[in-house]
Amino acid sequence: MNNVIEVKNLVKEYKELKAIDNLSFEVHEGEILGLLGPNGSGKSTTINCVLSLLKTSKGSIKIFGEEMKPDSYEIKRKIGVIFQDVAVFDELTVYQNIDYFCGLYIQDKVTRKKYVQDAIELVGLQDFVKFYPKKLSGGLLRRLNIACGIAHKPKLIFLDEPTVAVDPQSRNNILDGIKKLRNDGATIVYTTHYMEEVEILCDRVIILDKGKILAQGTTEEVKELAKIDEKVTVEVNNLDSSYIEKIKQNSNVDEVTYTDGVLLVKYKEGKNNLVDMVEFLKKENIKYNKINSEKPTLNDVFLELTGKELRD
Amino acid sequence: MFLHNFKYSLKTLFKNKMLIFWTFAFPIILGTFFNMAFADVINKEKLSIIDIAIIDNEDYQNNKIFKTAFESLSDENSEDQMFNTKLLDEEKAKEMLNKEEIVGYLKMQGNDPKLVFQKNGVNQTIFKYVVEEIVQRSSIVENISKDEIKKQIEQGNFAVDAESIVKRVINETSNTEIEFENTANKNLNYMMIEFYTLIAMTCLYGGILGMVAINQTLPNMSNKGKRVAVAPTKKGTIILSSLLAGYVAQLLGLVILFAYTIFALKVDYGEHTGLVILLAMIGSLTGLSMGVAVGTLSKKSEGAKSGILIAITMTGCFFAGMMGVTLKYVIDKGMPIINKINPANMITDGFYSLYYYNTLDRFWFNVASLGVLCVVLITISFLSLRRQKYDSI
């Protein structure tokens, strides 16, 4: 498998602060790699270093097998970047914005026109081409931001939290577009703190915190790092603490909490736990509203690894 | 790439309401205001002969150059009489000055002229500039006259008429007499200085265009700059094409301002059209360079940088005489260094010298000063723009 990006021992320091601490990873051709981490974990700094926008303190960065430098124009030609903050011209229409940024990569007008149209269709902005950005909703603006970054059909795409503060319709549209880009052959580095997006999209994930890699692998591999195997949640009113003690006596139970009418039981192994719980409730004659079981999420893994929620 | 970025830079500039206001609308609004505010003052000032006094002492009588020049400029039979000159003793001159019967008086102390005014104003300024002009030319006239007298003596003519020689040399060398006569013919008014500062202001507001162009190309200044920085384009190409677009927009703003003031407000900018355009162009370039420097060196937001540039421009124009010509002369007299490095004053003074003087020395000095300022600002900016990676963005 070819590596599109190879980062070795990357360090980025701001005076006393180590924003990136000896980071090494690869991105394989054709995959979507998710960079997961809370705000300030070093996701955007990593991307800015890889793109040669930021000075690095140590380490090496190769893209398409060559060292990445500010004047690596041939490498840059194959890269598309969608930054976290929307970066478009308020004075230009949707079409003009995409055409302008595409024009920084594609000189030929005929090719560019086709590429711009393709990008507009990909993000679903056909009905808004003559609109100015200020007339667009937050979701449509995000879609425009993406179109500006990928119109030149790059082979490697960096998407830095592209779905922050967008409506569900736009989010679905954006996620569908990203899948299509991957299906068309692009390699994608996707940073987010929405774990559900990572689970839907990414082939592999890297979990970052304080500039360090805490875990990496496929989503399944990373989830296996969790101590728990299943979570059972029961909505039940006025549960006596004696019942909680009884549940804890089960050797397969790792942790039990009861907060705001929700009983959460975490199991070390995942066999018949839901059935056992239903039977227990029936036997003790406890009335409940809803019961469900789920496998651990990446957020659970993150919580275990760092002691904090992914969205903190 | 150059043309692509140039085209879109122009589009963004012409659709940016803030830039349109400061570059195009604000100077026109201000020009209209000046026209309304100063219309009465102009009429009163038209073709007035200035009452002055000269202390009738030995030093004055012995200074052929001053004597000849002021006699010529005070000739009642001339249509171009500039001064109504009284030769008085100092006590009487002071008394007349206190009663405001004269705008000021000249006292020669040796070869050094001393001017005494009670207040500042256009008439006092004209008197002062005439004296300065005579001083500047005295040494030339003196040298040539000495040579001429020496030559005549060597040829055996011992009855040399020094006064007539000096008079002739003045006419032959610098055409001073004619120059002053022409000046007297002109429509001396406060408003011209206001319009010069207005043009200076328009030129310097180009700084906002330069700053915006820079901001949009640097990754540590804007998100759009980040996008440009990751594209396979040379930073220099993007910056140059953006600045050229800014310059074109600014020149268009000046064309509109000139057209409006000439055709709608009937402002007369004099005869040196080509030089007026040249000065406006280099003034604009200075404004643009100032914007590039502020855009490059300051890490503040775009709004804050615009504020800095507007403040610099307005202060510069204020010192150059925009809100009253008096301040310009107070600063020229008390703190000359301020106006020596004030680009608004360099532009204003350049126009002023075109309008009031036939010689172009002072004009070219101002053009050269603006050129030097441009070079300094661009060099500083260039050194900062050379870096390709940033510590933080």
Residue B187 has pLDDT above 80, yes or no: no
Residue A254: what pLDDT?
Answer: 86
Residue B391 lies in a domain: no
CA distance A223 to chain B (A): 34
Q: What is the interface pTM, i.e. ipTM, of the complex?
A: 0.81
| Domains delineated in chain A | 3-223 (3.40.50.300), 230-295 (3.30.70.100)
Start-to-end Cα distance in chain A? 35
Q: CA angle, corner A219, sides to A214 and A222, nearest 5?
A: 40
B178 and B202 inside one domain: no
Taking residue B323's Cβ as centre, other Cβ atoms within 10 Å add up to 14
The pLDDT of residue B178 is above 80? no
B392 is a domain residue: no
Residue ending a domain, choose from B150, B185, B220:
B185
Q: How much is the mean pLDDT over chain A?
A: 89
Q: Do the strands A58-63 and A3-14 form a parallel or antiparallel pair, or are they unpaired? A: antiparallel
Whether residues B162 and B287 fall in one domain: no
Confirm or reject contact between B227 and chain A (CB < 8 A). yes
Does residue B177 share a domain with residue B195? no
Q: What is the pLDDT of residue B188?
A: 44
Model confidence band, residue B179 (pLDDT cutoffs 50, 70, 90): very low
Q: Whole-prediction pTM value?
A: 0.73
- Categorize the per-residue pLDDT at A73 as very low, low, confident or very high, splitting at 50, 70 and 90: very high
Residue B109 in domain:
yes
Please report whether residue B233 resides in a domain.
yes
The H or E element spanning position B35 is helix B26-45
Domain final position from B134, B166, B185? B185
Q: Could you tell me the two tokens for A25?
A: 């990873």
- One domain, residues B364 and B241: yes
Residues of chain B contacting A160 with CB distance shorter than 8 Å: none
A70: chain B residues, CB-CB within 8 Å: 229, 388-389
pLDDT tens digits for A225-272? Answer: 777 778 899 999 888 888 888 888 888 888 899 998 999 998 887 778
* Model confidence band, residue A185 (pLDDT cutoffs 50, 70, 90): very high
* pLDDT tens column, A106-147: 999 999 999 999 999 999 999 999 999 999 988 899 999 999
Averaged pLDDT, B78-88:
84
Within this chain, do residues B341 and B196 fall inside the same structural domain, yes or no?
yes
The last residue of one of the domains, among B185, B219, B250, is: B185
- One domain, residues B107 and B23: no
- B391/A contact by beta carbon, under 8 A: yes
Domain span at residue B156 reads: 48-185
DSSP state string for A177-226: HHHHHHHTT-EEEEEES-HHHHHHH-SEEEEEETTEEEEEE-HHHHHTTS
Q: Are residues B170 and B295 in the same domain?
A: no
Using pLDDT thresholds of 50, 70 and 90, give the confidence band for residue B122: confident
Return d(Cα B351, Cα B366) in angstroms, integer: 9
- Looking at residue B21, its amino acid is F
Measured in degrees and rounded to the nearest 5, phi and psi for residue A200 equal -75, -40
In a domain, B393, yes or no: no
Tell me whether residue B83 is in a domain: yes
Q: B259 — contact with chain A (CB < 8 Å)?
A: no
Give the best-scoring range by mean pLDDT among A204-208, B38-42, B356-360: A204-208
How many domains does chain B contain in total?
Answer: 2
Q: Specify the residue for token string 């002072």.
A: B362
pLDDT recorded at residue B182: 43
pLDDT of residue A8: 95
pLDDT at A105 over 90: yes
Asked if residue B329 lies in contact with residue B126, where contact means CB atoms within 8 angstroms, the answer is no
CA dihedral over B307, B313, B316, B320, signed as positive or negative: negative
**Which residues are registered as beta bridge partners of A95?**
none
More confident residue, B24 or B86: B86
**Residue-wise DSSP of B331-391:** HHHH-HHHHHS-HHHHHHHHHHHHHH-SS-HHHHHHHHHHHHHHHHHHHHHHHHHT--SBS
Are B228 and B338 in a shared domain? Answer: yes
Percent of chain B with pLDDT over 70: 86
The answer to whether residues B8 and B53 belong to one domain is no
CATH of the domain at B158: 3.40.190
In this structure, the answer to whether residues B246 and B175 fall within a common structural domain is no
Would you list the DSSP string of B89-120?
Answer: -HHHHHHHHHTTSSSEEEEEETTEEEEEESS-
Given a cut of 70, whether residue B45 has pLDDT beyond it is no
Residues B312 and B355 in one domain: yes
Within-domain flag for B293: yes
- Same domain as B171, residue B52: yes
Q: Name chain B contacts of A89, Cβ cutoff 8 Å.
A: 8, 12, 224
Give the distance from CA B199 to its chain's centroid: 10
